[in-house]
Amino acid sequence: MTSAQLIISGSGLLLFVVGLLNGVIIPKTKSPRLSLSAHLTAVQSGTFLIAIAWTWPVFEMGPTLSMLVAYGLCGALFVLWAAFFLAGLWGAGHGLAITGQGFETTEIRQAIVTALLGLGVLGTLGASLVLLFQWPLP
């Protein structure tokens, strides 16, 4: 396994376990629906990272780009989980129409969640686009 594969698979396993532990506290949070979103985000993202680690040798990237994408993708998915986790704890549901309905929090908490969501989405999208364009064509 390459260094990037080890980073991605280890991060995937960690994120999966974090998601399982997150599931235990769902009923104790201010917004259980948002906490369920955090739980599912972590479990699914962890599984995705493990799958990407297995397919990593297929991508045609040099070592620098490989490490940049690996750290970027892992970091972005952890940030995305953190955004949903904090949203569930704080009830920061503004902008999350389905899971966040009826919950309000302080402006600073909402701003933190919104910023983390934006960073997580942009980071995940950016890394995924790089992977898409590095996929070898037949």
- Give me the DSSP letters along 32-44: HHHHHHHHHHHHH
- Position 1 scores a pLDDT of 84
Tokens linked to 32: 């259980």
Q: Which residue has the tokens 């129409």?
A: 97
Q: Pick the residue with more confidence: 87 or 105?
A: 87
Q: Pick the residue with more confidence: 105 or 39?
A: 39
Banded model confidence at residue 25, pLDDT cuts 50, 70, 90:
very high
- The stretches of the chain forming alpha helices (DSSP H) are 3-24, 32-55, 63-90, 107-134
Mean pLDDT of 114-124: 97
- Position 60 scores a pLDDT of 86
- In the DSSP assignment, the letter for residue 27 is G
How many Cα neighbours within 13 Å face the side chain of 74?
Answer: 23
Q: Pick the residue with more confidence: 42 or 137?
A: 42
Is the overall model pTM greater than 0.75, yes or no?
Answer: yes
